[in-house]
Amino acid sequence: MATTTATLTLTSSDLLTDSLSLSATSTLYDAGTTTGLTQYEMGRVTVPSSDTNNILIDSTAAGVDKGGRVYIANKNTDETHYVQIAINDAVLGRLYSGDWMFIPWNQSDAAGDIEVVCPAALSTTCDVEYAVFHEGKTFTAA
């Protein structure tokens, strides 16, 4: 088995009266076990400017109700550029340039894809990096 960890450090000296310093580390296990996730996929894509939902990470039957994790980052640099992230058309939020996100992803069903939109109003493409750590996926025959 593999050992993969994800650590968050959230800090601010002036968001609150007192300093905010939060740290959290999780080890990425298969669902309900202490066995480390052993499969992953990483990528960088240029998302075309369009209001269409695009599948960034495809949900498959083999991943349903498993212990997947997803990392996504918007690599554009203009502060007005954002990508909208959704799961099966349910919008989570907007990643503005430089923003990242990290979530568990249980692929509730085969339609539970991770979707991305680079809005047409931006009139430019959006560069997105992502990584998905998972327990397995269903392959499609060629």
Q: Which residues here bind another protein, judged by CB under 8 A?
A: 2-16, 20, 22, 24-27, 29, 31-34, 36-38, 40, 42, 65, 67-69, 71, 73, 79-80, 82, 84-85, 87-96, 98-106, 108, 112, 131, 133
Q: What minimum distance in Å lies between the beta carbon of 101 and another protein?
A: 4
Query: How distant, in Å, are the alpha carbons of 46, 64, 86, 95, 118 from that of 122?
Result: 14, 34, 18, 14, 7
Closest CB to another protein among residues 85, 126:
85
Report how far apart the first and last C-alpha atoms of the chain are (Å, whole number). Answer: 30
Q: What minimum distance in Å lies between the beta carbon of 68 and another protein?
A: 7
List the one residue out of 78, 64, 82, 63 whose CA is nearest residue 121: 82
Q: What minimum distance in Å lies between the beta carbon of 124 and another protein?
A: 14
Please list the residues that pair with 67 across neighbouring strands. none
